[in-house]
Amino acid sequence: MALFKKKNEKGEAAKSVFTVEVEKKNRDEKFNIESLKMWHKECFGGKISNDDFILTCQRCGTEKCIDLTDEIRINLVSVAVDGKEFTTILNSGEEDECKIVFVPKD
């Protein structure tokens, strides 16, 4: 399954995965990515709060801080509008390395 094949800069699989389901938006709908509703898939849909892109699952308490680059902004819009999965690695090569996978909410 392609979802778990992305490697870090050392060519190793990430140590943990945090999957974020992103609400779908219509192409003609106006929205900003900071207001997108998101859910943590690994804990069966815990609502994610987003405070300056510190993503916190309200169910399990897992917290991930995302550096909101232009690339990530563009890809989040693509997840919401086009339903395209997007994966990024946080803290690549570090002990707390984590793969963040953004997928459209079913």
Tens-place pLDDT, residues 27-86: 999 998 888 999 999 999 999 998 888 999 999 999 999 888 899 999 999 999 999 999
Task: For residue 5, give every residue at least 6 positions away whose Cβ sits within 8 Å of its Cβ, in sequence order, or none.
Answer: 13
Q: How confident is the model at residue 9 (pLDDT cuts 50, 70, 90)?
A: low
Predicted pLDDT at 16: 87
Q: Which one, of 46, 40, 3, lies nearest residue 19 by Cα?
A: 40
Residues 94-104: b if buried by 16+ CB within 10 A, e if exposed: eeebbbbbbbb
Say which residue, 14 or 66, is predicted with more confidence. 66
Band the pLDDT of 3: cuts 50, 70, 90: very low
